[in-house]
Amino acid sequence: MGEVIIRGMLPKDIDQIMNIERICFSLPWSKASFENELRNELAYYQVAEISGNIVAYMGMWRIIDECHITNVAVLPEYRNKGIASMLIEKMIEICRCSEISDMTLEVRVSNEPAINLYKKHGFFAVGKRPRYYFKPVEDALIMWRKMP
C-alpha cells in the first residue's frame, strides 16, 4: 500500500466516489447529491487517496455547533488498514478548529466493525432509530462524541 493522503474532496473525485458508493452501500447516493454537497458551505468531505486513486471518503454536516457524520466508506480491499481512523481523526480536527461541541452519527446495529471503530474514537451509543435503514431494513444505533 502506498502513502495515504487525506485531503478535501474535489469535483474531479466524484466519479471515483460514485464507484465507492456502489460497492459499499445498498442505497448509494446520486452523483447530483455529491455535487450539491461540494457546494454546501456546511458540508465537509474528505477523501483518502493512494497513488492517485480514491480508496475511501467521509462526509459530515455542520448543524449550528454540532457535526453529523453522513458517510464513511472504504473500499473492501483497503479496510482494516487504519484509513477510516485517519479520516475520522481529520474530521475531529476540523470540528475542533470550527468550535464544534459534539459529533453524532447513525450506524447499522449489525455493523460491529464500524461501531467498534467509532467507540475507539470516543463515540458512545445513546439510543436507536427503528427501521432507519432499508435494503435490508435495520435499526440504526445513534452515537455521539463530546468534543473536549
- pLDDT tens-digit series, residues 65-78: 999 999 999 999 99
Give the pLDDT band (50/70/90) at residue 141: very high
CA dist., res. 72 & res. 69, Å (int): 8
- Among the listed residues 44, 45, 57, 118, the single catalytic one is 118
Scanning 40-82, the segments in alpha helix (DSSP H) are none
- Among the listed residues 66, 106, 132, 138, the single catalytic one is 106
Q: Which residues on neighbouring strands pair with residue 128, listed in sequence order? A: 141
- Let me know if 106 is a catalytic residue: yes
Angle at 31 (CA atoms; ends 58, 63), nearest 5 degrees: 45
Tell me how many domains the chain contains: 1
CATH number for the domain spanning 66: value is 3.40.630.30
CA dist., res. 35 & res. 18, Å (int): 11
pTM (whole model) above 0.85: yes
Q: What are residue 58's phi and psi, to 5 degrees? A: -150, 145
Quote the domain boundaries for residue 109: 4-146
